Chains A and B, each alone.
Chain A
Amino acid sequence: MNFELTEERKMLQDGLRRFLRETYTPALRAELVEADCGFSRDVWSGLAEMGVIGALFSEDDGGFAGGGFDISLVFEELGRVGAVDPLLDTAVLGGGLIAALGNEVQKQQIESVIAGTTQLAFAHAEPSSRYDMSQVESTATRDGDGYVLNGRKAVVVNAPAADHILISARTDGQAADRNGISLFLVPAGIDGIALRSYPLVSGGQAAEILLEDVRLGAAARLGPEGGAYDAIAEVNARATLAICAEALGLMESIRELTTDYLKTRKQFGKPIGKFQALQHRMADVLIEIEQARSAVINLAGHLDSAADTREMHVSATKNLIGNAAKLVAEESIQMHGGIGMTEEYELGHLAKRLIMVDHRFGDAIHHLERFVALAVA
């Protein structure tokens, strides 16, 4: 048993923590609100130069790490500063799918992802799919050698900045079937794709995507026709780990802010942290954060398990994180009082980003039901 990070990972963690602490200044936050793409291109280049993107890919795919604990340490650090950089979308989801399904030509994209010169987005969820990974109604119809895509994609994070979009569409089967889902790697500006872009509550940008007779050559298909589901599930598991680790980082920073506030804010002649009613609640917050840390470690350690075991851990961790995130965000706002409700104070962004974690890759209730099906029943 050993819960220590390896030397390489420790170095990555230290370097990344220092870089983010120096980078995520109030000036940057103000700049991000105005940024068209929702993040800073300079910070992105900095992350690429440090090798942070490469750490999310295996050596076979041109990176130098790519394990569960690499993902969790990177995203925990991103979470600590409330970073809005789309590593989840470009590297873990987009890059991960290309790594899992791409041919040699397609895999060349990974190189430019690692170098920081390509942005990706994964257009999978649809207006009525909620968190169901097999619910795909968009269609890809054979057209000579190629395909014609039609349909709608919902809340595609990072789509406005993406150079290429990975689009899932059905080549066979019924709307909720696992079989019959195909993936396509599509240049963003191609005819027939319309984006409606908007900012997110958590920071960053997303878009609704309308696909109208999008004509693609056969070379655009990623992986076997109709056989993308298993890779989507595996990459979603990695993304779930990433967002859970990010939530953990957010919770740690929120706890530090709140504890500092309890020590300095005076009412009734003493710091409010001297009131036992608040002390006990803050102790509960700490307990839930440590539970969240263990849940993240547990999922990171089971990322390469057989699909059934892996998915059980995905649901267990995402359920626990969802509940813990709500408690930590709400209690920290409450214990801050009015100042915790303001956009100006640092807590606001962190708490919102934490709350929004429950709305990607399935919420606590979705994963509770799924856990029952996978582990209890």
Chain B
Amino acid sequence: MDLNYTDEEKAFRDEVRRFLAEKLPARLADKVKQGKTLTKQDHEEWHAILNEKGWLAGNWPKKFGGAGWDAVRRHIFEDEMTRAAAPRIVPFGLAMLGPVLQKFGSKEQQEYYLPRILNGDDWWCQGYSEPGAGSDLASVRTTAVRDGDHYVVNGQKTWTTLGQHANMIFCLVRTSKEGKPQEGISFLLVDMNSPGVKVRPIILIDGEPEVNEVFFDDVRVPVENLVGEENKGWTYAKYLLTHERTNIAGVGFANAGLENLKRIARAERSNGRPLIENPYFAARIARVEIDLMAMSITNLRVISQAAAGQAPGAESSMLKIKGTTIRQEINALTRTAVGPYAMPFVSEALEEGSNLGPIGPDYAASATAQYLNNRKLSIYGGSNEVQRTIISKAILEL
């Protein structure tokens, strides 16, 4: 048992730190620190910087243009990224679709799409959930019917994150109604500029258009856009979900959030002393910090298993529940910490259009929006209820 990184891992960490200190634009880090919404151009700028270094796809094997890092190095990289307030890497092409194409895609698909993901030629989004298929993902009803060299797609996807930026969408579609619901699903790549694709933004409770509905009306998709075999899409979808969950604990986000919370609690004054000296508030911070310290170790335990070649299993469900609960508690405490200044609905446009200075302290502006937005953490990527069911079945065998 040794809780420290090896010398090689430490050297890698220092290299990442140096790189971030040199190459991360201060403008982007400031936006991340202040909880501002990043534009499509912001994301693309940062992706290009990472790609130039060969670090955009840490999880991809070298033969596909990735960095080929093991789980420990990926963890170190993600940790340093959040510490430096770098924009997160947009996961849809890099963390989700990439691994699926590498494992199940045709040679042509790999050669065409993977470089385009790295170079930012395509912005992918995820077409999984539907109005009637949320936690129960296998009940997807969007259909793809074969017509000569094409599939004709009809139906609706929803909760499509950043779909407004995307030109490509990977979809779960129903190609057969025979057998169990899982058995008739296929994995299809759709060009969003095709006739019949419509995107409608959904405004979330924080006021931001982060997710979308995507409608398909007789959309013709070439058959070569099918990934793997027809009706085997559920297998690929599950494979993708395990990759979606590699950074599911969000330890880096939690650490950054905790640090921010403490900074605010030191600055705010309550009844003549810093808020952080209020024993009741301090106890709440302490409780979440203790939880986070232990979860960081749980996370490393799972990572070192993964580095030793074991596929992440039900443990990722534990990390998802614990990680999201901790982050949501930090968000709630941050909202509490800013006091009455949690009440203004301060949009960026409002701030930018004013010459009167910010409303309240700078750290207050995004506290409520982030709290509201991160209620999604326990809903998406398999709700925490679904994760509990996985744990009771897969680990407890109940």
Q: Which residues of A contact B (CB under 8 A)?
A: 125, 127-128, 130-132, 154-155, 157, 176, 196, 198-202, 206, 208, 266-268, 275, 277-278, 326, 330, 333-334, 337-338, 340-344, 348, 351-352, 355-356, 358-360, 363-366, 368-369
> Which among B275, B335, B340 is the interface contact of A125 at CB below 8 angstroms?
B340
Interchain CB contact under 8 A, B278 and A365: yes
Interchain CB contact under 8 A, B204 and A341: yes
Interchain CB contact under 8 A, A334 and B360: no
B196 close to chain A: CB less than 8 A: no
Question: Taking A343-B203, A365-B281 as contacts, is the C-beta distance between A267 and B135 under 8 angstroms?
Answer: yes
Spot the interface stretch: B2-10, B20-28, B287-295, B342-350.
B342-350
Interchain CB contact under 8 A, B203 and A330: no
> Which among B343, B384, B385, B388 is the interface contact of A206 at CB below 8 angstroms?
B343
Bound Cα distance from A360 to B270, whole angstroms: 14
- Distance in Å from the Cβ of B207 to the closest Cβ of chain A? 7
> Which among A202, A275, A340, A365 is the interface contact of B280 at CB below 8 angstroms?
A365
Interchain CB contact under 8 A, B359 and A196: yes
Interchain CB contact under 8 A, A176 and B346: no
Question: Taking A342-B202, A365-B284 as contacts, is the C-beta distance between A130 and B268 under 8 angstroms?
Answer: yes
B67-112 with Cβ < 8 A to chain A: none
B302-347 with Cβ < 8 A to chain A: 328, 332, 335-336, 339-346
- Distance in Å from the Cβ of B217 to the closest Cβ of chain A? 22
> Which among B336, B385, B388 is the interface contact of A358 at CB below 8 angstroms?
B336
B205 close to chain A: CB less than 8 A: yes
Bound Cα distance from A341 to B369, whole angstroms: 12
- Residue-by-residue, is B359-396 near A (CB-CB < 8 Å gives 1, otherwise 0)? 11000000010011001101110011100100000000
Residues in A neighbouring B202, C-beta threshold 8 A: 342, 344
User: Would you mind naming 24 contact pairs between A and B with Cβ atoms under 8 Å apart?
Assistant: A130-B270, A130-B340, A131-B340, A154-B341, A155-B343, A196-B354, A196-B359, A198-B344, A200-B344, A201-B368, A206-B343, A208-B360, A278-B385, A330-B328, A333-B379, A334-B379, A341-B205, A343-B203, A351-B205, A355-B335, A355-B372, A358-B336, A365-B336, A368-B280
Interchain CB contact under 8 A, A337 and B284: no
Bound Cα distance from A267 to B129, whole angstroms: 12
Bound Cα distance from A334 to B384, whole angstroms: 9
Residue of A nearest to B204 (CB): A341
B234 close to chain A: CB less than 8 A: no
- Distance in Å from the Cβ of A86 to the closest Cβ of chain B? 14
Interchain CB contact under 8 A, A198 and B346: yes
- Residue-by-residue, is B236-277 near A (CB-CB < 8 Å gives 1, otherwise 0)? 000000000000000000000000000000001111100100
- Distance in Å from the Cβ of B65 to the closest Cβ of chain A? 34
Interchain CB contact under 8 A, B360 and A127: yes
Residue of B nearest to A130 (CB): B339
Residues in A neighbouring B120, C-beta threshold 8 A: none
Bound Cα distance from A189 to B110, whole angstroms: 68
B398 close to chain A: CB less than 8 A: no
Interchain CB contact under 8 A, B158 and A342: no
Interchain CB contact under 8 A, A334 and B205: no
Bound Cα distance from A338 to B202, whole angstroms: 11
Interchain CB contact under 8 A, A201 and B271: no
B121 close to chain A: CB less than 8 A: no
Residue of A nearest to B332 (CB): A326
Interchain CB contact under 8 A, A352 and B372: yes
Interchain CB contact under 8 A, B339 and A363: yes
> Which among B278, B336, B356, B384 is the interface contact of A196 at CB below 8 angstroms?
B356
Residue of A nearest to B275 (CB): A130
Residue of A nearest to B344 (CB): A198
Question: Taking A342-B205, A343-B205, A352-B372 as contacts, is the C-beta distance between A130 and B269 under 8 angstroms?
Answer: yes
- Distance in Å from the Cβ of B261 to the closest Cβ of chain A? 13
- Distance in Å from the Cβ of B138 to the closest Cβ of chain A? 9
- Distance in Å from the Cβ of A222 to the closest Cβ of chain B? 23
Bound Cα distance from A365 to B333, whole angstroms: 10
Residue of A nearest to B203 (CB): A343
Interchain CB contact under 8 A, A343 and B343: no
Residues in A neighbouring B346, C-beta threshold 8 A: 198
- Distance in Å from the Cβ of B315 to the closest Cβ of chain A? 21
Bound Cα distance from A176 to B273, whole angstroms: 12
Residues in A neighbouring B340, C-beta threshold 8 A: 125, 130-131, 154-155, 359-360
Interchain CB contact under 8 A, A356 and B278: no
Residues in B neighbouring A202, C-beta threshold 8 A: 343
Bound Cα distance from A268 to B202, whole angstroms: 25
Interchain CB contact under 8 A, A338 and B134: yes
Residues in A neighbouring B280, C-beta threshold 8 A: 365, 368-369
Residue of B nearest to A266 (CB): B132
